[in-house]
Structure formats: C-alpha cells, structure tokens
Structure 1
C-alpha cells in the first residue's frame, strides 16, 4: 500500500510541476497565444519601453525631490506681470467732451449766454468695426488699438485751427473690448471688464464667484496670445508672484482634478481598506505620506530595499540634471523613469519626507525573496496535504476490499 501512496504523491507533484496556478477564471495564456489569428510583436522578455533607473540618494533628492511646478510668472515673464495699458477697441461705447478756452469758438458761440462751462459733450457712440469714430470737424478718428490719451491728443490737434485752445476728454461708457473670459468650475462664469488699475488672476476669479471645488483639486489655465499654462490654485494662492496681472482678451479656465497615485505590491492597503488608486487630497504629498496612506510596507511580504516610484519625466529636466540620454532617440521628449529607494537605509525616511509624489505616479513595493519561498512551501504543503488525504483514502478503500474478500471466503 505504501507503493500506492507513493504513486499518488508522485502523480500529484508531476501535475503541479506543469501548472503555474491551481485555478483559473479565464483562458490560459497558452490558449490565447495559440488561438490568435495574427500575432504582432515579439514574445521575448525584452523590455517594452526603455527606461532610466535612478537609485535615490541625497543628490537625487536634491535634483528630483521637489519637481519644478508650472508657473504663470515663468511662462509669461516679468515684463508681462505688470498691469497692461488698456486700449480702446471695437464695440467700446465712448463719450467725447470738448472744452474751449472762451466763448465765441467753434463749439461755444458768443451768444451761449449763461450756459455753464465752456464745453460741449457729444452723444455717446460705439467704435465701429473698422475701429473708427466720427468727431465733428475732426473727421473719422482711429480709436481701436490706442489709449485714451493718444486719441484725446489727436482730436485736440485736429481742432486746433478751428476751436479756441481745445482740450478733449474721452469717457469710456461700456468697455466691451477690454474683457477677460472666466470659464469652467467657478460659481459665476462671465466676461469680466478689466479694471484700468489692473486686475490679477485672483481678482477676476473673485469677481466670477470663486472656484466651486476645494482648492487642492482646483487648477487654473491661463491662455494669452496662443500661449497657455496651467497652475494649481493653491500655488497661486500661496505664491504672490504667480498671481500675475491679466490682460484684455485673456481666457481663464478653471477645472477640477483630483490628483492621485497608484500603489501596487507589498503594502498594507488591504488592512487600511484603501484601493490601489490613492487621491492626494492635498496640493502636494511626499513619498512618506503616500506610504502612510497605504498603511506602510507589509512586514510579512515587502522587501524594504525594493521600493520603486514609476514616473514619466520631461527629457529637458533629466538632461539638465546631467543624465546621458543618448540611448533614447531625439524624438523621445518624455522619458520613463523608475526611482528605487532602499528603506533598509536609516536615512531613507528623511529622503522620503523630501521626495514629492506627482500626479499619476506609480508606487510599487516588491515582495521579498523569503516571501516567495514561503509561497512555494505553502503550495507544496497544500499539495502534500491533499496527496496524504488521497493516499489515506486509497488505503481505507483497500482495507475494506480485503475485509469483504475475507468475509466471502
């Protein structure tokens, strides 16, 4: 009977050796490969993407720990961070008032009598599609694209030979050309008139009712003259330099995005009940905080030396840090990067406190070699228990059969 038990054990072990898993909820990988009508690409172990592996130390933390944040100030420059001189434009409604030094002139006749003041106010007019506006005795005047002072001086010069020391005052009634569009996730989207004293990004947002979502999930895109930049609302709020002046015809678009990272591998996310997609719920978080959100490393599974952060980075930022990227073609402007951190190193936790996670990063913690051995031994133990149980059943059946034969004899 021992030989029967041994045969069963050997059969089960052989069966297990040909399997990669004991149960499946779908087709096997070999079935998928074999039944394909067309196979594209190589099935070899070659890397799908070329990537850069960076072992994190103090130098790397200094270079990459605090990624450069998008900037309005850096995009639109220092010169453009001052209030723009508002100019008249098509559609603006203006009123022209002409003053003369004394009566008896072109607009103030001698018989004006007790008329208050030596001036005349012309009816309000709208600047036409050509940018022009007619002024009596001065003719069509180009208003659009010019400042109020420039137009006033030109009208006064053209009336100088007819009026008595004329002076001109232009009042802007409806400023339709000097507006900013504030759209998106604000409480009151609108076209907003730009204050001649200058309005900043936060000023026009306030006039549009402010963001409708939490600040840490709010982003602002400013578009000007076919250039655009997106900056986090909290960055504009916390850094006065980012709160630049808006210009007429700017578009300010506000939207909501919950920044997050993905976590896989040997973490305690099952214990904390968190999913593999973890939202920041803050304007920025560090690697240490990210690990805290998933409950830290799983002591029974994790290899503390093999904690990885996957990120796609701009080629320029890598080259400026001195990395040789010749292996990547010149057209590869985005480079896959994997950062590896060894948490067996006592200083690694200081590094993790100074290494920011970015939106859509992937955090991966590898299993330790001891855990892989434990999994294998557990599989063998399960198989052995099954085999032992089967062998005992075979022994029991054989004994019963012998008893029946003895009874019949």
Structure 2
C-alpha cells in the first residue's frame, strides 16, 4: 500500500514539475484567447513572418508624447501650412468688370460733349478671364489678370493708358468668382462649391454652408484635404478647440461623414468584443472600464497591452529606435503595468484611437491551473479505462 501511495505521489510531483516548466516555457498547446505575455515580450517574436513591431513600455515620457500628438488635431498635420486669411487672386473663369476714369472730358474715353454727365468714366463690358489668364481692355490690349489681385490689374491698366488718356484711373471688380473655391461634400444637406472671400472663411464656415445632416456630434468626423495631405477631427472637438478651426485655402476640400469610432478588447477582460467610444475622446483607462475591467481571477495586471499602428515620427519623438523598419506606419504594442498605481494614473492620459486593440494577458497561475486540469483529466481518464478493463477481466 505504501508503494502504491509513493508511486502516485511521485507521479503527481512529476506532473507538477512538468506543468510548471510548461507554463514558464509558454507552451502553446494550452487553450488561450491570445498570445502569452512572454511571447509578446520576446524579442524574437517582434519580427515574425516579416511583420516587425515595436514593444514600448508606457512611461511618463511616452505618455507626454501620446497626449501631445492627439491634441494637435488639424493644426498638427498642417503645422507648416497654417496660413492666415488668403489673399484672394483673380483666376481663370472669373467674371471681371473694369471701369476707367479720366480727369476731364475730351480724353480717350470721355468725349468733350460729355462735360455735363455725372462722372467722367466708362464701364468696360464684363468679361471672363480666358484660359490663358487674360482680359481685354480697349487701347490697353491684353492684360494678364489670373494670379493677380484686382489692385495689381488696375495698376497695369493705368500704366498702359497713362500716355493716351487724361490722368487715367481704373477700378477692377470681380463680379463672379469661379476660381479660388472650396468644396464641401459628404453627409451635408447641400454639397456645394463656393468661392473664398477676402474676409476669410474657416472650416466651420464651410460646414455651416453645407448644413449638417442629423448625427451625433462625437460620431461626426470632418476631414480637410489640402494638396496631398489630409487630416480628420471629430466635429465636437473642432467646435471645442478653436485652434483647429483654421482658415481655408483655395481648392481645399471638406468631407463630412458619420462613423462611430470603435476599439476592440480581448483577453482577460470582463467583456470582450467591439466597443464604441461614445464620446469625442476616451482614455485607455476609460476604454478598459468599458470592457468591464480586468478579471480578478484571471488577469495579469502587469500584462496590459495596447496594439495600434503608430506614426514613425511619434515613435522617434519617444526615442524608440525604428531604424530597422522603413515604413512610415509601424505596428506598435504599448505595455502598461496596472499592478502599479502609476499605471492607472498614466492610462488616464493616454487617448485611444479608432480601431485600437486592448489585450489583457492571463496570470501565470491560470496557465498552471489549465495544465494541471489537463493532467488530472488525463489521469482520471486512464484510471477509468483501467477500472473498465478490470471489470471486463473479472466478468470473464
């Protein structure tokens, strides 16, 4: 009997040693909802199948960069292009009116018998700026108008007529502006294209012209396209942060659309799946709370991971070495330690982005329990088979 007990004790001790070794080694045959924490942190795992990622511990310096980057919005993308009110120029297709004044009658435009008329001036018929950018003025010829301000065109006309008319003066007026316009499209009541004025129009001015369709402000996004660049910001934030309501420039495009921003939560969270922001912005701690926090009996608070595709420049500002990855957008995993109080404090300053992923790793004891359950299941099954064989043998 003693030998039997010793044999079972040795087997259990051996199984326990194997289980501990398997857990410490991160054995892959145990069921799990995602990668083991040791695999995420393993440097060899950070360049698998040609897909490299950067593992970045969440420090106060990292949090400062992330918080600043998120707060930049449109002014961050157009940092070097925050021009003031545009100096509106005449463009091809614009309809221009020209009035020419002379100091007295009897000149080039005002006949002598017109002395009694009110004002010594003549109106040139309105004309469109031709495809080459010119307008025509009698006795002055072809005048280059496209790309110049009305005052510059006035000066050119006067210079051309100075030796022919009596102290000539000119007034150039843009009657219909078809160039220097911006376009508003998307989920607006009236998509339109309208010209800019010398008063200066901002993004919200353009949105108000189009009229907003019915949508929650935090789900409504506004994209500014300028040349080969674009940036997107939520409508509520655009209203709340006047610095992002920048002046429009000719040929800008404003795209208004509704799209609930979401994040995903997996692993040892109270609830897994896809969650809406439900606000202009939420922090990492708020996102974890939406997923019902960490499971007390399962989660490893030291293994809270935030997956996202990060801008190369952002990682460089953090001091992360990205020389081995040539891409401008780099897969990144931020690690947060919720075992420390500072982990929670820092997570309140980390803004979530659309399509971010939160993953909570399991505690080591959970993996050990899984393995022991498999061992015990195997032992129980073997014993039941042995008992069944004994019954068969006895029956025979």
Could you report, residue by residue, the CA deviation over 1:85-134 in whole angstroms, capped at 9, with x for unpaired residues?
11111111122112222322222222226433222222221111121111
| In structure 1, distance between residues paired with 2:381 and 2:338 | 40
Is 2:97 aligned against 1:95? yes
Check conservation: 2:30, 2:370, Cα contact below 8 A: no
1:255–1:102 Cα change, 3 Å: same
CA distance in 2, matches of 1:126, 1:325: 54
Give structure 2 stretches of 5+ with no counterpart.
1-10, 16-28, 32-43
In the TM superposition, 1:353-372 aligns within 5 A as: 353-372=348-367
Q: 2:300: which partner in 1?
A: 303
Give, in angstroms, the shift of residue 166 of structure 1.
2.0
Alignment equivalent of 2:147, drawn from 120, 145, 148: 145
Does the CA-based 8 Å contact 1:186-1:254 persist in structure 2?
yes
Q: Distance in 2 between matches of 1:391 and 1:325?
A: 59
Task: Check conservation: 1:310, 1:362, Cα contact below 8 A.
Answer: yes
Count of aligned residue pairs for this structure pair: 358
Given candidates 201, 204, 211, the residue that maps to 2:203 is 201
Instruction: Give the drift of 1:268.
Output: 0.8
Q: CA deviation at 1:301?
A: 1.2
The 1:126/1:45 distance shift into structure 2, 3 A limit, reads closer
Counterpart for residue 256 of structure 2: 254
Q: Does 1:335 align with 2:330?
A: yes
Secondary structure of 1:153's partner? helix
In the superposition, relative to structure 1, how do residues 21 and 146 fare at CA in structure 2: closer, same or farther (>3 Å)? closer
Indicate the residue corresponding to 1:170 in structure 2. 172
Structure 1 contact 66–355 (Cα < 8 Å) conserved: no
Where 1:375 maps in the other structure, the secondary structure is: helix
Greater Cα radius of gyration, structure 1 or 2:
1
2:284 paired with 1:282: no
The TM-score, its normalising length taken from structure 2, stands at 0.78
Decide which of 343, 346, 351 is 2:341's aligned counterpart: 346
Alignment of 1:98-117 (within 5 A): 98-112=100-114, 114-117=116-119
**Residue 261 to residue 352, structure 1, CA distance change in 2 (3 Å):** same
Shift of 1:352: 1.6
Rounded to whole Å, the distance in 2 between the matches of 1:390 and 1:76 is 73
Q: Distance in 2 between matches of 1:117 and 1:46?
A: 82
Structure 1 residues 286-340: Cα deviation after superposition (integer angstroms, max 9, x where no partner): 11101111101111211122111122323332233223345x24x2443333222
* Structure 2 counterpart of 1:230: 231
Equivalence for 1:158 = 160
* 3-state SS in 1 of match to 2:151: helix
Shift of 1:206: 1.2
| Deviations 1:366-404 (CA, angstroms, capped at 9, x unpaired) | 1112222333444455566666777777777788x58xx
- Counterpart CA distance in 1 for 2:123 and 2:219 is 52
Contact 1:99 1:168 in 2 (8 A): yes
Of 379-388 and 293-302, deviating more is 379-388
The gaps in structure 1 that reach 5 residues or longer are 1-9, 14-19, 23-43, 270-274, 403-409
Structure 2 residue corresponding to 1:317, chosen from 306, 314, 317: 314
* 67-76 or 387-396, larger mean C-alpha shift: 387-396
Sort the Cα spacing of 1:59 and 1:165 in 2 relative to 1 into closer, same or farther, 3 A: closer
Distance in 2, matches of 1:354 and 1:89, equals 48
Per the TM alignment, residue 264 of structure 1 is displaced from its structure 2 partner at its CA by: 1.0
Cα pair 1:187 1:212 within 8 Å, conserved: no
Is the 2:77–2:231 contact (alpha carbons within 8 Å) kept by the matching residues of 1?
no
